[in-house]
Structure 1
Amino acid sequence: MDPRLQQAIENDDVDELYRLIEEEGNIFDCAYEKPFANTPLHDAVDKGKTQVAMEMAILKPSFARKLNRGGQSPMHLALRKKHYHTARALMTLDPELIRVRGRGGITPLHYVAGEKGDNEDLELLAEFLCACKPSIEDLTSRCETVVHIAVKKRNLKTFKVLFGWLKRVHLTEILNWKDEDGNTALHIAVSEKQPEIIKLLIGYVKVNAKNFQDKTALDIFQKNPSGDQDLAQRLRRVGCVARLFTLNLSLSQFLSMELTIYEKLTFWFGPRDESACNIILVVAALIATATYQAVVTSPRGSWLDNSSNPLTSSSGNAVEVLHQAGDIIPNSSRPYQFTALNGTIFLASVTTIWITAIPLLPHSFMVYALMMILSVAYFATTTIELPIFDEATGHNMVIFCIDILIVVLAIPMYLYLYYNQFLCGIDATRRRIGNFLELKDRK
């Protein structure tokens, strides 16, 4: 390295750095363009010279991603030397630097997770996770996630930070990822006798998942007991429940199966164009609103006074019906014709909404709940506003309401839960399975 440049780095002198650039434009010469080189940025970061390091990273962005002959990027060096201020500065310049793989495939996020877990390490770990969310998916050369590393290093505090973050961003499926030996975080926690982590993981991981030695976490626990009998019973209980409600399938077995009804419905009715999906939902919602409003404000008008009038029932018999101001004025059998037609249109709009929402389950569960509430309200309003002359008519209205509730909530939820039984039972060596039917990545 040019001694003058080395001196500028030593003094953290940005003005001197630019003066050298003016004097010699090739101060960052081709010697640093080799595949593996200890660049001036490496040197500045190694010494904790943040100002000069940031200027170099701006002038030569490639330096920030380059590995030296020891397989370390400038970010790795900053962390190794505990220059956290410099590491944070580089992170703000380019959050993707958190994902640069060094020796052994270790990223800066992996490195921080493997530290002893004091307050400063934990805070930097949390900042890394929030600054670059996709970094949680990066694996080392041994297929280890950052969770694997935290558990292997017995860093309970670090694990709690990772666990809390994964729950908040709905990525707890990463806890089921396997390393090169087929071990999930639970396998490792059991092997290392870490009951605190085991208790946190139960309920979020597949207890019956097997590693490449064909052993579950319970098998490992029984051969290597921690002495906690309550924990052993809890593992057995969760394992038994999981076997009852999930199917143990390999990924190839699942893909070889015929499509479930839920998958077929999704492929038949799930629009792949998001704008078309939005238009369908808007139109269906407007029709549902209009039909509901038609029940409340009937075209037949309302009574203006309180009295009783002889009316004729559907069987031709005269019936004395009391009415109050605001009640709908009936007209022989025509109110039922109107109700039947209006109810059919309402049912069609509701059906359109739940068909469109099927591919979005379980995220669209609230849509089904709201549709159920709306159906109940529609039935209640209809029965209140519509004069009923015989018991058969009332029974028909109840059956109509039940049909709506089944269509709106029970059928799609049952089909999804049946499909999810297969999805949750897949025990694969993959990084991630996710939901095959999602229209796009929702992370």
Structure 2
Amino acid sequence: MDQRLHDAAIQGDVIILHQIVKEDPLVLHRVNSGWFGGSPLHVAALHGHADFVTEVLHLNPELTEVLDSSQRSALHLASAKGHVKIAQTLISANPDTCLARDKDGRNPLHLAVMKGKVDVLKVLVQACPHAAQVTMDRGETILHLCVMHDQLDSLKQLVNTIKSKEFAEAKDGRGNTILHLAVANKQIEVLKYLLTNATVDVNLANASGYTALDIFAQIRKDMKISDNIIDSMEDELQKAGAIRGKDLTWVQWLPKKKETLMVVASLIATIAFQAGVTPPGGVWQDNSNGHIAGEAVMAYNFPELFPHFLRANTMGFVTSLSTIMLLTSGLPFKRKIFVCILVVLMWLTITSMAGAYAISIIVIAPKIYKTSLGHTTVIALTVWYSLMTILLLAQMVRLIGKAFEEEHSRHLVAKRIQKFSTVKSLLRHLNGSSNSVQLSHTNV
């Protein structure tokens, strides 16, 4: 670049610019991409000389496409410096420069966010909203940059302008959302904003299967002292219904299976109701021989089995109705306890209906098959109840173990806090003793 032209661009001297162009009309047309300092347009944009930029563009509009040695356009530099008027001028001359990417894969919007230039960001997003959704080379979105560089105002501007759930929940190359980064960086204000104003799922997992609560738990584990920010983050995550990655299967399982569970529970309730009013073997049709019309034949022919049938059938009917009520209650199934209750109800329903079915088969089978069917039924029920018992015990052991683990973790945190408090008191005591000694020397 001509040295006089470079100096004129630094000073923003339009008069000298015209003198140089008058002497050499092609001086602005010999500028190529890749120069270390870029074009005169780069220099003027960097130093904020709006009039000089306007005049250069009037003489050669194609300079908007020229890139410096870092592959940055003049709009990159103006955006990074926050020169709103220059950015508007450059966009008017060539709107496509909003999409130009430097050697690090960043467009002008990315640089505006990194430097916290919200006013320029507004102009750029309005001119080219698509540029805000361009990801960088490692998969980071512009929202990731907002969190990484602690630019809450820029984050608010982008979320409010581009109202898209997919945009707010986008993941980087490691599967981290902006919520993961906010927790990892202990940015409580960003976290509060995302949980209260942005449409962000608090329980999204990254590529390692960790949710925001998992990352928080690791931070809490590594903390050796009490931290007000950590305590505030914990409160916000709990209010938002955050869960650990290992518990995601419980939460994701129910929405997918809710409709199926409703159909199954309704079908079982219908069958149980019908079996209750019309037991296997039917009902008596007349009043004779010590029975009354409408009474169950099974109660007279199989008096030892009839009570067991009624108990099993009633249990299946009640638990299936309870399942329907629970599914339609609107309870927060993000809490594992409600999912556990639902699973237990379904276990009881299926087990009860299995028992009622077994008794029904024995009742309606001809005498020639009763013995063999009885043995088969007993074996099948024994296997079934044994399996259910093993599953129930395994679940109880797992829950008890988890409870002990959480209690142990809380105990360790409490010990660390107590130790910190003791050390703090000791330091305060030592400082007090030191001040007393200094005072004694002064008096002497």
Give the structure with the higher percent helix. 2
Larger radius of gyration: 2
| Higher relative contact order (Cα pairs below 8 Å, separated by 6+ residues) | 1
TM, length-normalised to structure 2: 0.48
TM, length-normalised to structure 1: 0.48
